[in-house]
Structure 1
Amino acid sequence: MQRTLEGRVALVAGATRGAGRGIAVELGRAGATVYATGRTTREQRSEMDRPETIEETADLVAAAGGTAVPLRVDHLEPAEVRALVERIDADHGRLDILVNDIWGGDMHMDADVPLWEHTLDAGLRMLRLGIDTHAITSHHALPLMVREPGGLVVEVTDGTAEYNARYREGVGFFYDLVKVSVQRMALAQAAELRPYGASALALTPGWLRSEAMLELFGVTEDTWRDALADQPHFCISESPALTGRAVAALAADPAVARWSGRTLSSGHLAQVYGFTDTDGSRPDAWRYITEVQDAGRPADATGYR
Structure 2
Amino acid sequence: MSDSSPVAVVTGASRGAGRGIAVALGSHGCTVYVTGRSQREGDASIPGTIYATADEVTKAGGRGIPVRVDHADDAQVRALFDQVEREQGRLDILVNNACAIHDQLPAPGPFWEKPREIGEMINVGVKSGFDASWYAAPTMVGQGGGLIVFTSAPGAVHYCFGPAYGAHKAGVDKMAADMAVDFDDAGVDVAAVSIWMGSLATERLLGMMAAAPEHFKHLEGTLESPEFTGHVIWALFNDPDRKALSGKTLIGAELGVQYGVTDIGGKYPPSVRELHQCAPREQYPFKVK
Q: Secondary structure at the match of 2:67?
A: strand
Q: CA RMSD in A?
A: 2.5
The aligned residue for residue 79 of structure 1 is 75
Q: In the alignment, is the contact (CA less than 8 A) between 2:105 and 2:114 conserved in 1?
A: no
Is this contact kept in 1: 2:8–2:93, CA < 8 A? yes
TM-score (ref. length: structure 2):
0.86
Contact 1:187 1:201 (C-alpha < 8 Å) held by counterparts: yes
Could you tell me which runs of 5 or more consecutive residues in structure 2 were left unpaired when the two chains were aligned: 279-289
For 2:195 and 2:214, the matched residues in 1 are separated by 26
Partner of 1:301: none
Cα distance change on mapping 1:273 and 1:52 into 2, 3 Å: same
One-letter code aligned to 1:9: V
The secondary structure found in structure 2 opposite 1:203 is strand
Compared CA separation, residues 28 and 110, structure 1 to 2 (3 A): closer
Partner residue in 1 for 2:120: 125
1:134 is aligned, of 129, 137, 140, to 129
Q: Find the counterpart in structure 1 of residue 8 from structure 2.
A: 10
Distance of aligned partners of 1:84 and 1:291 in 2 relative to their CA distance in 1, 3 Å threshold: closer
Confirm or deny that 1:193 pairs with 2:183. yes
Partners of 2:51 and 2:236 in 1: how far apart? 26
Aligned residue for 2:244, secondary structure, equals helix
Q: Shift of the alpha carbon at 1:217?
A: 2.8
* CA distances 1:197-228 after superposition (whole Å, capped 9, x unpaired): 10100012111111111222349xxxxxxx69
- Rounded Cα–Cα distance in structure 1 between residues aligned with 2:28 and 2:224: 20
Q: CA deviation at 1:49?
A: 2.9
TM superposition score normalised by structure 1: 0.82
2:99 matches 1:103: yes
Query: What does residue 267 of structure 2 align with?
Result: 281
1:21 positional shift: 1.0
- 1:203 aligned residue: 195
Which of the residues 141, 145, 165 maps onto 1:175?
165
Residue deviations 1:44-91 (CA, integer Å, cap 9, x gap): 72xx43221111111111221111101110111111011111111111
Name the CA shift for 1:229/1:139 in 2 (closer, same or farther; >3 Å). closer
Q: String of CA shifts for 1:90-115, please: whole Å, max 9, x gaps.
A: 11111111100011323252665445
Deviations 1:235-282 (A, max 9, x none): 111111211111111111121111101111221011100011142010
Map of 1:208-223 to 2, 5 A cutoff?
Answer: 208-218=200-210
Structure 1 regions of 5+ residues with no counterpart? 220-226, 293-305
Q: Distance in 2 between matches of 1:43 and 1:269?
A: 34
CA 123–233 in structure 1, closer or farther in 2 if over 3 Å, else same: closer
Shift of residue 121, structure 1, vs aligned partner: 3.0
Q: Which amino acid aligns with 1:104?
A: A
Give the one of 201, 225, 238 matched to 1:239. 225
Question: Which amino acid counterpart does residue 34 of structure 1 have in structure 2?
Answer: V
The answer as to whether partners of 1:113 and 1:172 remain within 8 angstroms in 2 is no
Q: After TM superposition, give the deviation of residue 148 of structure 1 in Å.
A: 1.4
- Alignment partner, residue 150 of structure 2: 155
